[in-house]
Amino acid sequence: MSIRFKLLATDGAARRGWLQTAHGVIQTPVFMPVGTQATVKGLTPDQLRAAGAQIVLGNTYHLALRPGADVIAELGGLHRFMGWDGPILTDSGGFQIYSLAPTRKIDDHAALFRSHIDGKLVELTPERAVAIQENLGSDIAMCLDECPPYGTAPDYLRVAVERTIRWAERCRAAHKRSDQALFAIVQGGTDLELRSRCARELMALDFPGYALGGFSVGETETQMHAALAPTAALLPTDRPRYLMGVGTPRDLLLGIRAGIDMFDCVLPTRNGRNGSAFTKEGEVRLRNACHKRDPRPLESDCPCYVCRHFSRAYLHHLFLAKEMLGPTLLSLHNVAFYCRLMAEARQAIEERRFDDFTAVRLVRWGQSP
């Protein structure tokens, strides 16, 4: 097997483990910064490492369009191309089947897109999604799936689940690269019966890891978490569990409590680019005038580069002056915040106090446990 996963401790459903990949060991639970186009926006690989990042994401659809998976393979693979020597996970393009719905057609054979770059037709089959990811050389590749939005009619939701299962079978048959793990994706919306069926049939194919897709696509937070825990409980205990595209710090803690090991989301860098910082006391909006003369760091006990060197007043100035350093610094702090939150969660699980840790954090953020 191209990866090894080991559970080290549990606290209720929360899990503490490690995941061995071809490019290093990942301590779980883990947050994965999103580098859709072979870059985590505004941050260098050295900055990501210093912030505590263990693994980053790339995207099959975007990298296949530009610069092309063949170009990246010719230049030594995605790790060398982007200067990141740690583990990489690549999404299959399944999310683009959801996000580019107005410009795509889909049937059991493939998804057909209009390129968002030049309008050319792009066909993405399960086999091509696997071939692209093998060319990229990621440590973890994802099966192509169909991610239906919340509110999809029950009959079509069933069709999407059946298609996801058939596509996973085709991805499994097409995947040949021995140093790359292929994860399957469980779909089914908030329908627990469909989720259970999808999980059961994918588990029969014996993938080395499983993701939960189709969350945070229009349903309420309450609906998401009501479906998340029972779905996670269906998955094998000896395989990593990945919740795709979710979410806020609260979502991460509740996801860990439900038994999830891996997370990704664009929020740390997107919010950073827009002047918003995550802290233990909640979000800080650096454009607000109250920070103009504030000499404090974003967080007094944060060891990140930003908090060790700069004041809120300086960060406020950068955003008002529209200096590009502002988004970079807040993105760096936010990634460090997310990674530190995961490290503290791992310690809390080891010490069997994860529920207390979560409750204290949520109260600080003004949120219900």
Q: Which residues are catalytic?
A: 91, 264
**Tokens 């399944």 -> residue:** 94
> Tokens at residue 350, please?
């080891």
Residues counted in the chain: 369
CB 369, CB 341: distance < 8 Å: no
Q: How far apart are CA 288 and CA 316, in angstroms?
A: 8
CB 132 within 8 A of CB 63: yes
In sequence order, which residues have a C-beta less than 8 Å from that of residue 369 and are 6 or more positions away? 358, 359, 362, 363
Compute, in degrees rounded to 10, the torsion defined by CA atoms 324, 327, 331, 334: 150
Residues ≥6 apart with Cβ < 8 Å to 329:
272, 306, 310, 315, 318
Q: Taking a C-beta distance cutoff of 8 angstroms, is the pair 97, 147 a contact?
A: yes
Report whether 275 contacts 285 (CB < 8 A): yes
Helix, coil or strand: residue 107: coil
User: Rounded to the nearest 5°, which phi and psi values hold at 15?
Assistant: -125, 140
Cross-strand pairs, 185: 211
